[in-house]
Each structure stands twice: as C-alpha cells, then as structure tokens.
C-alpha cells in the first residue's frame, strides 16, 4: 500500500529552505517541545482545529452546525471544547468568515508529488528542489522515505530539515535519498537542552556526527534565542563541536522572532516566551563572527 502522511502546509517558491526555488512540505508531529517553536501547528501528530477570533463575526452558524455541541458562545466570544470536537469539519464548511480551519491533511505520496510537479520548471531554472520540514519529518519515517525516493526517481534535489531526534536506523534508511541535511542544533548542555526542548541532545549530536562521518552535505541551523542559547559558553561549545565534524558545509543562524505567537492562541495554546525579543542585528553579527573564529562558514538571515 502506498505510504500516506499528514501534511499541514505546502509552501511553494520558498527560498530559505535549501538552494534555489523550493517546494517545502511541512509534516505534522514532533517529539520535541522547543519553547521558541514557530510552528506550533506542527507539534501534534494528528489533525487540529484552528480558530481565528479576530475573523469571527459571531454569527453562530458553527454552533448550529456542530453535531457534537462542542461550540459555545458567550456574547461575542465563540469557543470550542476540543475534548468534544471530532474534527468532522462541519463548522468549517459553514463559516463564511474563514475563522475556522482544520490543520493537517492526510496525503498520499502521489498527491504530494502532483503538487511538486507544478514547480518542476522552477527547480530546473534555479537549482532548487523539494524540502521536507515540519514538525519533525522523521516522525513520519515511512512517508518521508517514500517521498524522498519518489523525488530522487524524478531527479529532484532533496533537503531534509530535521531536529535529528530519531533512531539512527531511521536516518540510515533515508539518508541515501537526501541531498542536503538542514540540521538544527539548539543547545550543547544536555540538562539545558532537556529543560528547553523536553528531550536529551545525546541522540541528536551522535546522529549529526554519524551523518557527517558518512560524508553527507550538512548545513547546521542554529535558532538564536536570547536568554536561551546565545550565551558565550553555549556558543563556544557549539563552535568546538561543529568545527570537529569531518564534513560540514555551513552554519546558518536563524534569529528568534515572535511572529508566530498568534498561532498559539488560535490553537488554545500558551505562547511559552511572551517576554523574549529578537536579538539585535549587531548581536547576530557578533555571534556570527565568534563562530567564524572556529573556522566555520557562517551566514545569518
């Protein structure tokens, strides 16, 4: 049977997820809970209801449509009891304000490849391709393997944007279909990593070393989060670790931004870093320079 997966977004004409113009597929589900996550709709492996209170007209159509009685209204405030919601989509169908959306769609490899086929001319002209991101794509290993294999059969360049938290056997079974790994490195201290992401970094670091020993093309991506991983000690340990890898193309710094905080409220989640502000351009440049002193090629967005 053809592998299926849950995709929450397909972004065309992406220019930040690998070389050239790319189609980025965002897969649902992630084993980490990074406090700064900017794709909270990618955390849960299943489908979810998203609600935009600002778009809601208070018309009450969704209350009448819901067969579970999951939606209630108090004045102009409409809320959904997620424990009752079966994600049937009836409320989405009647909401003309587009205030409701079910996030995530079950797709076959053929369906994703049909989307990808629309962008083939752009890949040829720009040296682009397909990037699998998330969530954490390796949380859906069979789907990811089948997608990557389908891309390679068509000669499409592939990139995998990963946090690296997966059994080595999973990575080993897909790595031959990956042209470029975009590999997240967040924190070097294990206790701090557990505190800020919910998991140990031991597997992440050992997988990165193993991929590098195998000679893969790797770009390390560091999300720069003020007060979390931008201290001298962490940056120095990161520089030492990265410089010791036998194969590494580059380090990309991804400065924190809070543009995703609204997404949390649309999912009835609490944004974990309400007081954190983006680092200044000067600080980002300083950090890039510090990492270059380890002999690394470093870019910052």
Residues found near ligand SF4 in the complex (CB under 6 A): 49, 56-62, 65-66, 68, 70-71, 78, 80, 85-91, 94-95, 97, 99-100
Nearer to ligand SF4, 58 or 155 (CB): 58
Nearer to ligand SF4, 21 or 62 (CB): 62
**Cα 206–210–216 angle (5° rounding)?**
135
In the numeric block, which tokens belong to residue 90?
């009836």
By three-state DSSP, how is residue 198 classified?
A: coil
Minimum CB separation of residue 269 from ligand SF4 in Å reads 17
Nearer to ligand SF4, 98 or 297 (CB): 98
By three-state DSSP, how is residue 41 classified?
A: helix
Minimum CB separation of residue 49 from ligand SF4 in Å reads 6
Alpha carbon distances (Å) from 90 to 58, 71, 165: 16, 11, 36
Alpha carbon distances (Å) from 71 to 49, 74, 81: 12, 10, 6
Nearer to ligand SF4, 88 or 243 (CB): 88
> Which residue carries 């470093």 as its tokens?
298
Residue 130: name the closest of 6, 10, 254, 2 by CA. Answer: 10
By CB atoms closer than 10 A (0-12, 13-18, 19+), residue 295 is exposed
Minimum CB separation of residue 74 from ligand SF4 in Å reads 12
By three-state DSSP, how is residue 289 classified?
A: helix
Nearer to ligand SF4, 86 or 299 (CB): 86
Nearer to ligand SF4, 75 or 246 (CB): 75
Minimum CB separation of residue 58 from ligand SF4 in Å reads 5
Minimum CB separation of residue 9 from ligand SF4 in Å reads 19
Residue 60: name the closest of 50, 46, 74, 48 by CA. Answer: 74
With b for 16 or more beta-carbon neighbours within 10 A and e for fewer, the 245-278 pattern comes to eeebeebbbbbbeeeeeebbebbeeebebeebee
In the numeric block, which tokens belong to residue 226?
């003020």
Minimum CB separation of residue 72 from ligand SF4 in Å reads 10
Write out the DSSP string of 207-225: HHHHHHHTT--EEEEEEE-
Nearer to ligand SF4, 68 or 173 (CB): 68
Minimum CB separation of residue 81 from ligand SF4 in Å reads 8
Handedness of CA 33, 38, 42, 48 (dihedral sign): positive
Minimum CB separation of residue 109 from ligand SF4 in Å reads 27
Q: Which helix (H) or strand (E) holds 141?
A: helix 141-153
Nearer to ligand SF4, 48 or 161 (CB): 48
């Amino acid at each position: 049977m053809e592998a299926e997966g849950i995709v929450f977004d397909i972004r065309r004409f992406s220019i930040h997820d690998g070389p050239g113009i790319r189609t980025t597929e965002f897969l649902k589900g992630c084993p980490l809970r990074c406090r700064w996550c900017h794709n909270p709709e990618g955390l849960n492996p299943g489908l979810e209801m998203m609600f935009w209170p600002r778009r809601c007209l208070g018309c009450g159509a969704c209350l009448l449509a819901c067969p579970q009685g999951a939606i209630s209204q108090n004045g102009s405030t409409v809320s959904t009891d997620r424990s009752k919601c079966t994600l049937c989509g009836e409320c989405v169908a009647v909401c003309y304000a587009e205030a409701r959306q079910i996030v995530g769609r079950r797709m076959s490899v053929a369906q994703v490849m049909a989307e990808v086929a629309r962008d083939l001319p752009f890949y040829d002209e720009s040296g682009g391709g397909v990037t699998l991101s998330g969530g954490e794509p390796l949380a859906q290993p069979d789907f990811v393997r089948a997608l990557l294999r389908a891309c390679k059969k068509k000669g499409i360049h592939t990139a995998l944007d990963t946090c690296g938290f997966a059994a080595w056997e999973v990575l080993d079974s897909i790595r031959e279909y990956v042209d470029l790994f975009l590999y997240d490195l967040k924190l070097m201290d294990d206790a701090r990593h557990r505190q800020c992401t919910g998991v140990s970094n031991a597997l992440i670091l050992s997988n990165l070393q193993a991929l590098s020993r195998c000679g893969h093309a790797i770009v390390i991506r560091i999300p720069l989060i003020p007060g979390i991983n931008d201290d001298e000690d962490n940056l120095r340990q990161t520089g030492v670790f990265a410089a010791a890898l036998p194969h590494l193309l580059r380090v990309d710094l991804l400065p924190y931004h809070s543009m995703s905080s609204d997404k949390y409220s649309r999912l009835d989640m609490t944004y974990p870093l309400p007081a954190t502000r983006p680092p200044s351009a000067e600080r980002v440049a300083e950090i890039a320079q510090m990492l270059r002193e380890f002999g690394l090629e470093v870019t910052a967005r």
